[in-house]
Amino acid sequence: MRVGDKRTRIALALVLLLVGFAAYRLYVYWDGYHLRDAERALERRDFREASRHLEEYLTVRPNDLNARLLAAQAAFPPYSFLMASASWAISWSLRRYSLAARIWAAVGPW
C-alpha cells in the first residue's frame, strides 16, 4: 500500500472519522456526566455536591437554562429559613381565609 493509493486514503479517512466520532461521544458523555450527577445529588438533597457538579457543567455550557435552574435550586434549598417562613405565612393567611369563608357560609348574606 502506497501513501497515495486510493485504498490508503479511504482507510485514513475512515480512521479519522472514527477518531472524531469517538472524541465527540466522549465530549458528550463528559458533558452530560456532571448534569446527571447534579440531578442525582438534588434527588438525594445533597446541595453542595449538586452545586459543584453544576458549576463544572456550566463552565462548558454556560447558556443551558435547565442547568441554571438546577443551580438556583441547589443554591437555595427548598426548606431554607426564608422559604419556611414564607410557607408558614401563606398557610396562616389561607387558614384565616378558610375560617372567614366558613363563618360567611354559616351566617349567610344579611
DSSP single-letter state for residue 84 = H
What range defines the domain where residue 93 resides?
Answer: 79-110
Tens digits of residue pLDDT in 31-75? 778 888 999 998 998 888 998 998 888 888 888 888 888 888 888
Q: Are residues 97 and 62 in the same domain?
A: no
The model carries a pTM of 0.50
Same domain assignment for residues 54 and 85 = no
- For residues 54 and 88, membership in a common domain is answered with no
pLDDT digits (tens, 9 = 90+) for 63-100: 888 888 888 888 876 656 555 555 556 655 666 666 66
Considering only residues 67 and 4, tell me which one the structure prediction assigns the higher pLDDT.
67
Residues 6+ apart with CB under 8 A from 57: 31, 34, 35, 38, 64, 67
Q: What radius of gyration do the chain's Cα atoms show?
A: 28
Quick one: 15 and 57 in the same domain?
A: yes
Q: Calculate the alpha carbon distances from 108 to 40, 57, 67, 93 in Å.
A: 53, 59, 52, 22
